[in-house]
Structure 1
Amino acid sequence: MVGSLNIAFVHPNLGIGGAERLVVDTALSMQQRGHRVVIYTMHHDLSHCFEETRDGTLDVRVGGTWFVPQSVNGRFHILCTALRSLALARKVTTDREQYDVLFVDQLSAPIPLLKYAHAHILFYCHFPDYLQAQRNTLWRRLYRAPFDLLEELSTGEADEIVVNSRFTQETFRKAFPHIGRVPKVLMPALNLQAYDKPVDTDDPALGVLRTGKRTILSINRFERKKGVELAIDSFAALQTTEASCLVVAGGWDVQVAENIEYLKELNTHARDLGLRTRTVAPRGISAQTKTLLPPDVVPTPTLIQDFCDAMDDVDVLFLPSFSENQRTFLLSVAKCVVYTPSDEHLGIVPLEAMYMRIPVVAVNSGGPRETILHGKTGYLCDPSKDDFAAAIKKILTADDDAWTCMGNAGRERVKHEFSLDSYASKLERLIVEMLQYPSSGSALFGVLMSLFIFCTAGLTFALAYWL
């Protein structure tokens, strides 16, 4: 039996992505098991977050925002994030709280300074950051070098390191050869109750999503590494597009330049293929922000009858910054979910789709190979439009019994292998094992690492000015 613990979660940005859903569900599961939980974050937009983080269910504290902006003229993102993480770590260590465990998620930079909290630190590594960064110029390689070193050094300071899949575990070992430990695998889970909630059919925001067509759904952040062009190309390659529509939904933040640029690129790409597009403006968006969206934007409906059957003349609908009710509705009506990232470390979306009895088509690499059963709960394909289109067509043309059988198999797999209760039990066991040993590392190292970041910041800005 585990006694009540004080647990703090440290997460960069509480938006509406899969990583954010996981940390929220993890915090909820620990809270429901009798532990006291606090979430620290650098960014929490109340209009762009999960309900539990704004309605008082979870104690959310924001820090680091006063110290430095998210970027400088759209540049130096990793540098600014590292500096902001130090300010967040300072807030954690100076709050009048004594924590038993710090669950540090995604970003390892604050770990050395968090040693001053005198708590055991568990780091959840989704994927080594330096493997995702671009190094296509000498300047980029020089700029990234100190942060790549920082990532390995700071990650090694955690008392326990956990990864989200066997694929990430193997990648971690190759990426950080100087960390002698092999991280443990703790595959993410779904809060199944959240997906069992009925759709609020009176929600006016559903009006624009209603259609008599078969819905093919893509859910991803609007980031280039997600490869959403593959979903559009595959849809265009289908011979039955007139009876189907593609909904491209995902996280979209006005403060993230890539989100803005990539949504426009995808819209242009679809139109170049001869597809008719429409973009739904997020609810409550300002007139100024609306200008950052593609030109075919329509407002979110304010009356339930508005825009009903509006997708009859649309092939691809873009839905940036969707609501939870819109997500639930789409997952209740979709015939197929396409998941396009290559070498994705895990991917929550395939689990969401399978639990909602929707067959999934995904790239045959990375985490989806560990979650999707090929031919039983969906299809794993080469990242080509022809392979994806063929798999999508199989699902769309399957008879009702075959489609239902595949959907039921996916739901049963998620219920047995990826339930939140099972995940929480495994996490608790990891925490208990970690607490049996004294916390590793030195707080002095945190000071040295902080000085390292500050010196790197000064040098980077000086070089940028000089060049």
Structure 2
Amino acid sequence: MQVALVHEWFNEVAGSEKCVGEFNTLYPDADIFALVDWLDDASRQSLLGGKQTQTSFIQRLPFARKHFRQYLPLFPIAIEQFNLDKYDLVLSSSHLVAKGALTHHGQLHVCYCHTPVRYAWDMYHDYLRGGNLQNSSIKSWLSRRTLHHLRLWDVLSSNRVDHFIANSHYIRKRIQKIYRREAHVIYPPVDTNRFSLVTNKDDYYLAFSRLVPYKRIDLIVQAFAHTKRKLVVVGNGPEMEKLRGMATPNIEFLGFQDDQRVAILMQQAKALVFAALEDFGIIPVEAQACGTPVICLNQGGTAETVLHGKTGIHFQEQSVAAIRQAVDEFEARQTQLLDAASISEFAQQFSVTRFRQDINQHIAQLLEQKI
């Protein structure tokens, strides 16, 4: 069986790229296609076993290395230029255009969908507002026109997929809403083995993510400001100075920390506080693998990956008051309900081993049905 793996781009090793890495482990002879590939040698070796990808014409366009996203209007036609005719199985890892690769009736195209295109659909107005594109300028008009055509192509290209796999039930519902297609849910792989159980916790809360607006670290900082509770914030990003301006002496900013230090901080934290609305959310699962409970939003992926009253505490909205109330509830209930060993055991259902087994079994069933 000849297999093709299709992904949008390789410019870093994040959650979606790790999924492709696991696909490559399952299908070591597969060929890999992407719009662009800027991986360094070390990342390529660890993620893809050193394998080279076949890239699109976007790779060769001026300034593509730093600004390839500016070529968004060309992405649909670029993904359609890959000739995948010889492959029996096409497995796409898609959050934008990878699912739009062209296949014929004799092939099986399975799409592992991280999300339908967020900034073209439910985050469309947030995207325009964040880019100051709500005015009547030419740039605004061009952006709106590009996203309008992307929405049309996005729905059209969803019909090219034979079977969708969603990375959470939250995304399954979005696939059904936007594409009118059913999807099978397989949670993405989390390297739970990297985060060993620690039962003795220190007296601090942890917030860990890129410091960008949608992560809502600002709400967490405000919720802890002017309290006696210690908050440790890990991560870098454009919001750093703004967040420091909100902080009081009980809040400490550590900036970027390497993987080893992050693991130690997660293991020793009283709880992780996580306010982002995520499609899945790997960081809360990593914290739970350490036996560390999570205080998080009861929406999106964290509504599924954190069990209220058992592995953490949910809050119902992204607000300072809701986070404060959830922290109060956590402190009142932690000795009664939250057991570190049980939390760590719960997190193992999101492991890399489980992901490989589920993907392998599901695709084998689809191939049998195809035959």
Q: TM-score, normalised by structure 1?
A: 0.64
Distance verdict in 2 for CA 1:85–1:270, change over 3 Å: same
Percent same amino acid at aligned positions? 19
Matched AA of 2:152: L
User: Which residue matches 1:336?
Assistant: 271
- Give the Cα–Cα distance (whole angstroms) in 2 for the partners of residues 336 and 353 of structure 1: 8
Tell me, yes or no, if structure 1 residue 230 matches structure 2 residue 163.
Answer: no
Instruction: Give matches, 1:144-155, under 5 Å.
Output: 144-155=147-158
- For residue 157 of structure 1, report the CA deviation from its aligned partner: 0.8
Distance verdict in 2 for CA 1:123–1:340, change over 3 Å: same
CA contact (8 A) 2:315 2:322 kept: yes
Instruction: Give matches, 1:210-289, under 5 Å.
Output: 214-236=203-225, 239-241=227-229, 244-249=230-235, 263-264=237-238, 266-275=239-248
Tell me, yes or no, if structure 1 residue 44 matches structure 2 residue 28.
Answer: no
Tell me, yes or no, if structure 1 residue 366 matches structure 2 residue 300.
Answer: yes
Distance verdict in 2 for CA 1:374–1:438, change over 3 Å: closer
- For residue 186 of structure 1, report the CA deviation from its aligned partner: 1.8
Tell me, yes or no, if structure 1 residue 83 matches structure 2 residue 56.
Answer: no
- Give the Cα–Cα distance (whole angstroms) in 2 for the partners of residues 89 and 329 of structure 1: 45
- Give the Cα–Cα distance (whole angstroms) in 1 for the partners of residues 258 and 164 of structure 2: 33
Tell me, yes or no, if structure 1 residue 124 matches structure 2 residue 112.
Answer: yes
Stretches of structure 1 that go unaligned for 5 or more consecutive residues are 199-211, 251-262, 277-312, 440-467
RCO higher in structure (CA 8 A, sep ≥6): 1
CA contact (8 A) 2:2 2:86 kept: no
- Give the Cα–Cα distance (whole angstroms) in 2 for the partners of residues 240 and 81 of structure 1: 47
- For residue 384 of structure 1, report the CA deviation from its aligned partner: 1.8
- Give the Cα–Cα distance (whole angstroms) in 2 for the partners of residues 392 and 356 of structure 1: 19
- For residue 22 of structure 1, report the CA deviation from its aligned partner: 3.5
Matched AA of 2:261: Q
Matched AA of 2:51: D
Secondary structure, in 3 states, of the residue corresponding to 1:337? strand
Q: Residue 352 of structure 2: which of 403, 414, 420 is its match? A: 420
Matched AA of 2:91: F
Matched AA of 1:315: E
Secondary structure, in 3 states, of the residue corresponding to 2:53? strand
- For residue 340 of structure 1, report the CA deviation from its aligned partner: 1.3
- For residue 151 of structure 1, report the CA deviation from its aligned partner: 1.2
Distance verdict in 2 for CA 1:187–1:13, change over 3 Å: same
Secondary structure, in 3 states, of the residue corresponding to 1:127? coil
Matched AA of 2:273: V
Matched AA of 1:128: P
Q: How many residues align?
A: 350
- Give the Cα–Cα distance (whole angstroms) in 1 for the partners of residues 32 and 105 of structure 2: 15
- Give the Cα–Cα distance (whole angstroms) in 1 for the partners of residues 210 and 291 of structure 2: 22
CA contact (8 A) 1:336 1:392 kept: no
Q: Residue 55 of structure 2: which of 39, 58, 63 is its match? A: 63
CA shift digits 1:377-411 (9 cap, x unpaired): 00110322233134335556877x558x4322221
- For residue 194 of structure 1, report the CA deviation from its aligned partner: 3.8
Secondary structure, in 3 states, of the residue corresponding to 1:246? strand
Instruction: Give matches, 1:127-142, under 5 Å.
Output: 127-129=115-117, 130=120, 131-133=122-124, 134-135=127-128, 137=134, 139=141, 140-142=143-145
- Give the Cα–Cα distance (whole angstroms) in 1 for the partners of residues 37 and 151 of structure 2: 23
Q: Residue 104 of structure 1: which of 89, 92, 116 is its match? A: 92
Secondary structure, in 3 states, of the residue corresponding to 2:146? helix
Distance verdict in 2 for CA 1:361–1:216, change over 3 Å: same
